[in-house]
Amino acid sequence: MDLTLSPQEEAFRDELREWLGANHPGEEPEGDEAGFEFRKAWQRKLADAGWAGISWPKEYGGRGATLIEQAIFNEEIVRAKAPQVANVLGLVMGGPVVIAHGTEEQKQRYLKPILTAEEIWCQGFSEPESGSDLASLKTKAVKDNGDWVVTGQKVWTTFAHEAKWCMLVARTDFDAPKHKGLTYFLMDMEQDAVQVRPLRQITGESEFNELFIEEARIPDENVVGGVGNGWMVALTTLMHERAGLAFGLQVQLKIALGQVMELAKEHGLDQDPVVRQKIAQLYIESEAIRLNASRGLTQIMKTGIPGPEGSLTKWMWSDTNQALTELAMDIRGPEAPIIDSDWTYRFLRARANSIEGGTTEILKNIVAERVLGLPRLR
Amino acid sequence: MNFDFTDDQQAIKSTAREFLASRFKPEKVRQLAESGEYDASLWDEMAELGWPGIFVSEEHGGQGLGVLELVILTEELGYVAAPSPFLSNAAAGLMVQHAGSDAQRERWLPGVASGKARGTVGVVGNDGSGALVPDAELAEFVVLVDGSSAVVVPTSDASVERVDTIDDTRPYSRVSASGGDALERDVAGGLDRVAVALAGEMVGLAQKSLEMAVEYAKDRQQFGRPIGAYQAVSHNCAQMLMEAESARSLTYYAGWAADHEPESLAVAASMAKAYASDAAFRVPARSLQVHGGIGFTWEHDLQFFLKRGKTDAHLYGTAREHRERVAELTGLGAAAPA
């Protein structure tokens, strides 16, 4: 057991730290459009310096970073309070899927503009009737003159209004068992047959959208991984979404916890034994997330397979972040609901943590079935 | 970075697993617990394997390995709820090794390492009622910790009075003594290592309780299917796994810190003891719930894990006390005097 970084890993971290220190673009400007342009510019800067898509192979513009380097990257980006990148779904999910399942032509066509944020990607998986039971989705794609014609509705599509490409899973075979009849497409968002409507959340913001698709056309060459393989291809993207995320999230929790400690001092509650117990417990849970993720990483490096550990840490993170924002509200006392800081936003936004990227209930099913080997009811 | 055991550590673990499975079969544990005794020949066998001195320096007759290797053993002992003076003796050895003078080490460590003159550790309560000490009747000496100071006392010079606890797998006594030989070096560092060793035992208790629940949930049928198919049960099991694994990660980290990054040990040890203390009760308690009525019976072995887990949780600093220390060390500063 050796929990220190190797000299190479330390060098990687130091190089990244130094670069972030010299290139941090400062605060994101107010307003949705200005903010998005800012994120695009930041991603271009990262890409030019070789810090975008670091897990991708070098031949496709990445760094071929090891899993530990990816973990370090996620930690350092959060620690430096660097801005978000514009094309997060393209980098984390779209690119890896094209690399894993795409044809050489698709790799040549799609990968570079993902890295540079020239083309933004969004994800068309969930539907109003298909959330946790994703494989039951009904959006249908029918072959017509060499093209696929798609009709249906998608929901929770982040960045849809900015996106050029949508990672779309649609049903191409209605007679096959539900997991077998799906196909993974790259759909051009720039067509009239695709309508984007913002979805307003309890925070008042519109981070997400609904997609209404009425006979949109997708050329056959935009199928990824073969007709009928959509479920398998989509699962890869979900794995990519969960793996490695924990390292950045635990740093985020530590930063937030520092802010909660400050808040407790401001409100004269830093000596309150109940508050102290709660803060300590949150700190311990953040550390448990980091350490569980590190143990998971060691296992992946040994076996080559991402295990269900990602499910465990994502579930723990949502519990911890919700408890943290609730504690901040508790400390604020009668003033808590007043919108005079970002705590009210963070408190409300945290309610989605246990739903987005796999509900806690589904994650518990995964742990129960795949780790503990308990029987499935379905 | 490599968060896994080395081949040598893995070998210690599998030897221990195999040895303990054959020596501490459930019926043996029950027999020892119900008679309130330890098996001296089993202790001699462990001593022959070099276990009591695994962390003791070679010059004092030990193997000179680390706290992490000790944790591997305490976890496996917890996994079978072994009635054994191993933990208390190791605790005494850790205190003397880290807080004792050269002369004190010379005097006490060889007996700890050979298992022939065992020690134990107690923490004096705030109410002046004397320390609650495991295995005191069988020990040659006791380390009594009072705040940031500690003394070592031959048991023959102390008052030792047996008390009944809910944990039948380990005898406890109230111990008080006047005077004693003060330990002048790193008392806090010694106690941190004791807490980590105990956390290891609690990880083992939690792990076995989880496995018992999962096995039962696969086997037990109600309404025509195994109860583990119901999410009310399976999610309870998933929660147990999360708590057992988190306790394990925190404990291994603390063991590693003790050996390789001592500046992180204080926080790491308190995190491990706090979390594992909660898990060592909650996981067996959830396991009992999964077992239903049978889990509440004297005849079921789960009771030994639940009661030892709850007792361990209160030994060498409660979860509350260790969380307070985490709060102090991670940014809130010392609590104001009451």
With beta carbons less than 8 A apart as the criterion, state whether B194 and B182 touch.
no
pLDDT of res. B338:
64
Give, as one character, the DSSP assignment of residue B170: S
* Per-residue pLDDT tens over the stretch B269-293: 999 999 999 999 999 999 999 999 9
Which of A287, A289, A300 would you mutate first to test chain B, the one with the most B CBs within 10 A?
Answer: A287
Reported as a pLDDT band with limits 50, 70 and 90, residue A309 is confident
pLDDT of res. A235:
85
Chain A partners within 8 Å of B199 (Cβ): none
Reported as a pLDDT band with limits 50, 70 and 90, residue B77 is very high
Determine whether the interchain pair A302/B4 forms a contact, defined as Cβ–Cβ distance below 8 Å.
yes
Could you tell me which chain B residue has the CA closest to the CA of A291?
B249
A-B CB pairs within 8 A amount to: 153
Indicate whether B149 pLDDT > 90: yes
Reported as a pLDDT band with limits 50, 70 and 90, residue A207 is confident
Strand partners, A140: A151, A171
Residues near A164 by Cβ (< 8 Å), separated by ≥ 6? A113, A119, A120, A121, A188, A189, A190
Distance CA(B223)–CA(B246), nearest Å, equals: 33
Chain B partners within 8 Å of A376 (Cβ): 229
Strand partners, A150: A141, A216
Determine whether the interchain pair A1/B217 forms a contact, defined as Cβ–Cβ distance below 8 Å.
no
Distance CA(A231)–CA(A183), nearest Å, equals: 7
* Per-residue pLDDT tens over the stretch B306-328: 999 999 999 999 999 999 999 99
Strand partners, A196: A211
Q: Are strands B172-176 and B181-183 parallel, antiparallel or unpaired?
A: unpaired
Distance CA(B284)–CA(A239), nearest Å, equals: 32
* Confidence (pTM): 0.96
Distance CA(A238)–CA(A353), nearest Å, equals: 16
Distance CA(A9)–CA(A324), nearest Å, equals: 31
The stretch B234-255 carries a mean pLDDT of 98
Q: Do A7-86 and A121-229 have matching folds?
A: no
Chain B partners within 8 Å of A3 (Cβ): 1-3, 253, 256, 260-261
> Among residues A69, A76, A127, A241, which one is catalytic?
A241
pLDDT of res. A328:
98
Could you tell me which chain B residue has the CA closest to the CA of A10?
B1
Reported as a pLDDT band with limits 50, 70 and 90, residue B80 is very high
Chain A partners within 8 Å of B246 (Cβ): 285, 288, 291-292, 316
What average pLDDT does the structure give for chain B? 97
Residues near B247 by Cβ (< 8 Å), separated by ≥ 6? B199, B202, B203, B206, B272, B275, B276, B279, B280
Reported as a pLDDT band with limits 50, 70 and 90, residue B127 is confident
Task: Give me the CATH code for the B188-332 domain, please.
Answer: 1.20.140.10
Chain B partners within 8 Å of A316 (Cβ): 242, 246
The verdict on B11 touching A (C-beta cutoff 8 Å) is: no
Architecture of the domain spanning A7-86:
Orthogonal Bundle (1.10)
Strands (E), A111-256: 121-124, 140-144, 147-155, 165-171, 182-188, 194-199, 208-219, 223-224
pLDDT of res. B130:
85
Q: What is the DSSP string of A227-287?
A: TT-HHHHHHHHHHHHHTTHHHHHHHHHHHHHHHHHHHHHHTT-TT-HHHHHHHHHHHHHHH
User: How many CA atoms, within 13 angstroms, populate the side-chain half-sphere of residue A219?
Assistant: 5
Which of A3, A255, A300 would you mutate first to test chain B, the one with the most B CBs within 10 A?
Answer: A3
Active site residue A241: yes
Indicate whether B157 pLDDT > 80: yes
Which member of A2, A261, A376 has the closest CB to residue B2?
A2
Q: What is the largest CA-CA distance in chain B?
A: 68
Distance from CA of B181 to the nearest CA of A (A): 35
Q: Confirm or reject CATH 2.40.50.140 for domain A243-371, answering yes or no.
A: no
Q: Are strands B141-146 and B119-123 parallel, antiparallel or unpaired?
A: parallel
Distance from CA of B320 to the nearest CA of A (A): 7
* Per-residue pLDDT tens over the stretch A229-265: 999 998 876 665 566 778 889 999 999 999 999 999 9
Distances (CA, A) of A42 to A38, A51, A108, A162, A179: 6, 11, 23, 16, 39
pLDDT of res. A243:
60
The verdict on B236 touching A (C-beta cutoff 8 Å) is: no
With beta carbons less than 8 A apart as the criterion, state whether B92 and B131 touch.
no
Distance from CA of A147 to the nearest CA of B (A): 43
Distance CA(B251)–CA(B72), nearest Å, equals: 10
Distance CA(B136)–CA(A177), nearest Å, equals: 66
SS3 at position A49: coil
Chain B partners within 8 Å of A283 (Cβ): 271, 326-327, 330
User: How many CA atoms, within 13 angstroms, populate the side-chain half-sphere of residue A285?
Assistant: 27
Chain B partners within 8 Å of A310 (Cβ): none
* Per-residue pLDDT tens over the stretch A85-141: 999 999 989 999 999 999 999 999 999 999 999 999 999 999 999 999 999 999 999
Distance CA(B322)–CA(A271), nearest Å, equals: 16
What average pLDDT does the structure give for chain A? 94
Which member of A283, A367, A375 has the closest CB to residue B326?
A283
Q: What is the separation, in whole angstroms, between the first and last Cα of chain B?
A: 43
Residues near A46 by Cβ (< 8 Å), separated by ≥ 6? A52, A85
Q: Given the structure tokens 């494989």, which residue do they identify?
A: A135
| 3.40.630.30, 2.60.40.10, 3.90.1010.10, 2.40.110.10: CATH of A121-229 | 2.40.110.10
Could you tell me which chain B residue has the CA closest to the CA of A5?
B1
With beta carbons less than 8 A apart as the criterion, state whether B274 and B319 touch.
yes
Which of A283, A359, A366 would you mutate first to test chain B, the one with the most B CBs within 10 A?
Answer: A283
Determine whether the interchain pair B3/A291 forms a contact, defined as Cβ–Cβ distance below 8 Å.
yes
Residues near B275 by Cβ (< 8 Å), separated by ≥ 6? A284, A288, B199, B246, B247, B250, B319
**Domain parsing of chain A, residue ranges:** 7-86, 121-229, 243-371
With beta carbons less than 8 A apart as the criterion, state whether A218 and A185 touch.
yes
Q: What residue type is assigned to position B243 of the chain? A: E
pLDDT of res. A241:
57
ipTM score above 0.95? yes
Indicate whether B262 pLDDT > 90: yes
Q: What residue type is assigned to position A56 of the chain? A: W
